[in-house]
Amino acid sequence: MDDPVLLTGAGGAVGEAILEGIGDAYEWKLMFHSPPAEEPSHEYLVGDVADDEDVAAAVEGVGAVIHLAGDPRPEAPWDSVLANNIDGTQKMYEAAVDEGVERFVYASSNHAVGAFETDRRTPEMYREEDDFLLDGSEFPRPGNLYGVSKATGEVLGRYYHDEHGIKVCNIRIGNLTRGHPPIDYERGQAMWLSYPDCAHIHECALEADYEFEIVYGISDNDRKYYSLDRAREVLGYRPQDNSAHFEGEDRVVEPDA
Ligand SMILES: NC(=O)C1=CN([C@@H]2O[C@H](COP(=O)(O)OP(=O)(O)OC[C@H]3O[C@@H](n4cnc5c(N)ncnc54)[C@H](O)[C@@H]3O)[C@@H](O)[C@H]2O)C=CC1
Ligand SMILES: O=C1O[C@H](COP(=O)(O)O)[C@@H](O)[C@H](O)[C@H]1O
């Protein structure tokens, strides 16, 4: 990707992981919701993804969008996910196709499929010996309204791809934590996404050849219940981390060289 890349939600945790890992690899245009505390080392603007003028200014001159901005709370109320996640994503897509943007990478979520985690399947499905695996071809099954908004973002991508040809990669992000996997939280360990792997999968999504994809964004955890096959095959994703390589906060197995 030679053109500038718009990163919405740049001030959040996922944005931080991406900029730490691949900040030097691209010409970025960062979008913040409120003025950043420190002057960013990349071009930036402040705006709301639910505002047509802000969104048009954001996509101007970019070749790709990584769309992270939104309300990330699993317990977020409908009025918030409707405005920030659904309306905001639709406006981003509309502006992107108007601008002729080539590709759109969308931060979907494990919560788009959270209701697969039924009482009958859990907690066994969070364990290494269990063979239950979602692969991205399943229909969304949200367990909360936030998950509904994330599934809706995926469907918006399907529409804008089919109608306008923009390349779309939906990454169903697991549980991003810095440094080590969540502690005493089996579900979080099964869908842990390390900061380096988060940056790497987004770089893959900016570079790979695809049309419309839904992939899971987790590290290569032994416990996983999300398949990484599609991300490996289509994006060339090669995660370096595994939650099983940690005891609490301590790494006990080093990543392969
Ligand atoms: N952190 C995680 O483990 C996961 C995150 N995600 C998704 O990744 C994306 C980023 O999540 P995080 O970085 O964790 O959240 P965050 O809350 O740290 O960052 C989100 C950013 O979006 C901005 N934002 C919110 N509403 C906005 C609006 N209307 N206009 C412009 N900017 C707005 C906020 O100011 C914030 O900087 C979200 O869409 C979330 O749903 C999905 C799965 C897991
Ligand atoms: O989509 C998201 O998922 C992660 C993990 O979910 P959790 O229910 O295990 O906490 C969550 O931390 C994050 O806030 C959310 O955006």
Q: Which pLDDT tens digit goes with each residue over 2-25?
A: 999 999 999 999 999 999 999 999
Q: Which ligand is nearest to the CA of 68?
A: 1
Q: Which atom of ligand 2 is nearest to the CA of 114?
A: 8
Nearest CA to ligand 2 atom 8: 74
Q: What is the ipTM of this complex?
A: 0.99
CB within 8 Å of 161: residues ≥ 6 apart? 167, 168, 211, 212
Cα separation, 163 vs 226, whole angstroms: 29
Whole-number Å distance, alpha carbon 67 to ligand 1 midpoint, is 9
Mean of per-residue pLDDT scores for the chain: 97
Contact, 126 vs 192, CB < 8 A? no
Q: For the chain, list the domains and their CATH numbers.
A: 5-250 (3.40.50.720)
The answer to whether the annotation marks 224 as part of a ligand binding site is no
Q: Separation of 69 CA from ligand 1 center, angstroms?
A: 5
Ligand 1 pocket mutation, candidates 16, 33, 84, criterion most atoms within 8 A of CB: 33
* 144 annotated to bind ligand: no
Q: Is 29 annotated as a binding residue?
A: no
- Is 146 annotated as ligand-binding? yes
Question: Which ligand is located closest to the Cα atom of residue 185?
Answer: 2
Indicate the pLDDT class of residue 257, thresholds 50, 70 and 90.
low
Per residue in 39-52, pLDDT (tens digit) is: 999 999 999 999 99
* Distance (Å, whole) CA 30 – CA 244: 34
Probe target for ligand 1 pocket from 20, 53, 173, 215, with the most ligand atoms within 8 Å of CB: 173
Of 26, 146, 195, 226, which is the active-site residue?
A: 146
**pLDDT tens digits for range 194-219:** 999 999 999 999 999 999 999 999 99
In the residue annotation, 26 being an active-site residue is answered as: no
Tokens read off for 58: 């954001």
Cβ-contact 144, 182 below 8 angstroms: no
* Site residues for ligand 1, CB cut-off 6 Å: 9, 11-15, 33, 48-50, 68-72, 84, 88, 107, 109-110, 173, 175-176
